[in-house]
Amino acid sequence: MSPPRRLTRELSALDGAVVRIAGHLEDYRALGGVAFALVRDGSGTAQVTLKKGTTAPEMFTTLAELPRESVVAFDGTVKLSTKSQRGVELMPDALEVLARAEVPLPLGIVDKVNAELDTRLNHRVLDLRKPAVRAVFELRAALLASFREGFARRGFLEVETPKVLKQGAEGGATLFAVAYFEETAYLAQSPQLYKQMLISAGFERVFEIAPAFRAEPSDTVRHITEFTSLDAEVGYVDGSEELRTILEGLVVDALAGARTRLGPNGYPHPEHLAEPKLPFPRVPFRRCREMLGQAGNDTDLGTEDEKRLGDLIAKEFGADFYFITDFPTEAKAKTFYARRQEGDPSLTEYFDLGHRGLELASGGMREHRLDRLLANIAAAGLDPASFPGYLEAFRFGMPPHGGWGFGVDRLVQSVARLPNIRETRLFPRDRYRLEP
């Protein structure tokens, strides 16, 4: 009977114990009378030390001809060792080959030569075996878990809204149509309409972390067609400043929670999770245009504008996170649910959250008055008859409310300083990729 399996990270506390380890054979090297096998599991890599005279000869033979990345299991005794880089090694008594890998490998796992991103994504299962790649998803999981804790502390209820819809929140231009029995339906680009409806239902504070789909023909390092959106909506809110205060607090808590969850050695770049200073700078949109040398331009910011602005704000305010406030109505023309400012209807009560030149979130106060909402829908070129369930929520009493949509993938990309957003998804989907 085999001894109990233990993970690599547990071995340093098991000196003298007889255990089983199992994982992928990362490397095998024979040096005269001694040989070393490196076995990688989900927690790290263990060193197995084979010595002639004490280790069964057939073990050397099997490992010498076994392809890298085959799945193996070793039974043996744990031994603390100052000679091992890992401080611990396993002295093996038995070897079992659980699955043999094919050769050649289409992608190196521990090679120092980096493969092109397309090659990595084409062979994603192998790419995900790399510890540095896995670290991205451990970071992602830690951030999401910490966000959920932060929402719970603030009295939010986690909800799940439909992802197959009769209509979209911003019209049909960026929607994926799907056959739905005898009708045409659309994949949700946002839970916007439903989370507002929940405010009318009396839920008051809701959030959702869920997939969303946007059929934009973009092919950039910051756009994908399937993404994870972190959405929140707050009823009876005083204004956009209250929303910004909640949001920046959640971001700070999420980074702090991720630091705690991952520990000092759990993420290879702990400086990426440094605590940002509160409050984040608030920079009005028109001031941003002035900083860019584009005074008088009220159209929405483009990608290059966002990049430059992130550098300019970092220099002037010394901050990586910042809010762009007071968006012109012209810049948010399609966002019919955005509330206009009372004193100046050319401005909305909307804001964006940016980080190092990348837009992470957009939100603000919503229009809760039915007559004005209907006027906004018409001004956006949409038909109110397309939104019967949504508008019913306003006909029977809608409190003042606001919220935001937050791109989880973009946060991970920006915090981890990854060059391409596709690296934040296990199996990304973009304009050209449906496999694997």
CA distances from 368 to 66, 128, 194, 199, 205 (A): 66, 45, 14, 10, 16
pLDDT confidence of residue 267: 81
Q: Quick one: 186 and 55 in the same domain?
A: no
pLDDT confidence of residue 269: 87
Q: For the segment 195-252, what is each residue's pLDDT rounded down to a tens digit? A: 999 999 999 999 999 999 999 888 899 999 999 999 999 999 999 999 999 999 999 9
List 216, 275, 316, 330, catalytic entry: 216
The yes-or-no answer on residue 123 being catalytic is: no
List 244, 289, 366, 410, catalytic entry: 410
Q: Quick one: 56 and 189 in the same domain?
A: no
Q: Quick one: 131 and 91 in the same domain?
A: no
| Tokens of residue 148, six digits | 């959920």
The yes-or-no answer on residue 58 being catalytic is: no
Cis peptide before 436 (omega within 30 of 0): yes
Q: Quick one: 397 and 317 in the same domain?
A: yes
Q: Quick one: 259 and 404 in the same domain?
A: yes
Q: Quick one: 220 and 270 in the same domain?
A: yes
Q: Quick one: 52 and 181 in the same domain?
A: no
Domain end call among 99, 116, 137: 99
Residue spans of the chain under pLDDT 70: 168-173
Residue 120 lies in a domain: no
Domain CATH code at residue 286: 3.30.930.10
Domain end call among 46, 81, 99: 99
Residue 30 lies in a domain: yes
List 6, 40, 120, 222, catalytic entry: 222
The yes-or-no answer on residue 214 being catalytic is: yes
Compute and round to an integer the Cα radius of gyration of the chain.
Answer: 27
The yes-or-no answer on residue 81 being catalytic is: no
Q: Quick one: 176 and 93 in the same domain?
A: no
List 286, 362, 366, 422, catalytic entry: 362
Residue 148 CA from chain centroid, whole number: 14
Residues 348, 363: Cα–Cα separation, whole Å = 10
Residue 34 lies in a domain: yes
Q: Quick one: 209 and 251 in the same domain?
A: yes
Residue 57 lies in a domain: yes
The yes-or-no answer on residue 222 being catalytic is: yes
Predicted TM-score of the model (pTM)? 0.94
Residue 107 lies in a domain: no
Residue 181 lies in a domain: yes
pLDDT confidence of residue 16: 96
Q: Is 344 helix (H, G, I), strand (E, B) or coil?
A: coil
Q: Quick one: 79 and 208 in the same domain?
A: no
| Tokens of residue 173, six digits | 């231009």
Q: Quick one: 73 and 140 in the same domain?
A: no
Contact 282, 325 (CB under 8 A): yes
Q: Quick one: 39 and 188 in the same domain?
A: no
pLDDT confidence of residue 173: 66
Report how many domains make up the chain: 2
Closest CA to 404 of 152, 207, 143: 207
List 359, 366, 367, 425, catalytic entry: 359
The yes-or-no answer on residue 362 being catalytic is: yes
DSSP 83-128: SSTTSEEEEEEEEEEEEPPPSS-SS-SS-SSPPPHHHHHHTHHHHT
The yes-or-no answer on residue 223 being catalytic is: yes
pLDDT confidence of residue 172: 59
List 120, 124, 214, 340, catalytic entry: 214
Residue 432 lies in a domain: no
- Domain containing residue 79: 8-99
List 120, 223, 289, 368, catalytic entry: 223
Domain CATH code at residue 75: 2.40.50.140
| Tokens of residue 419, six digits | 């060059």
Residue 250 lies in a domain: yes
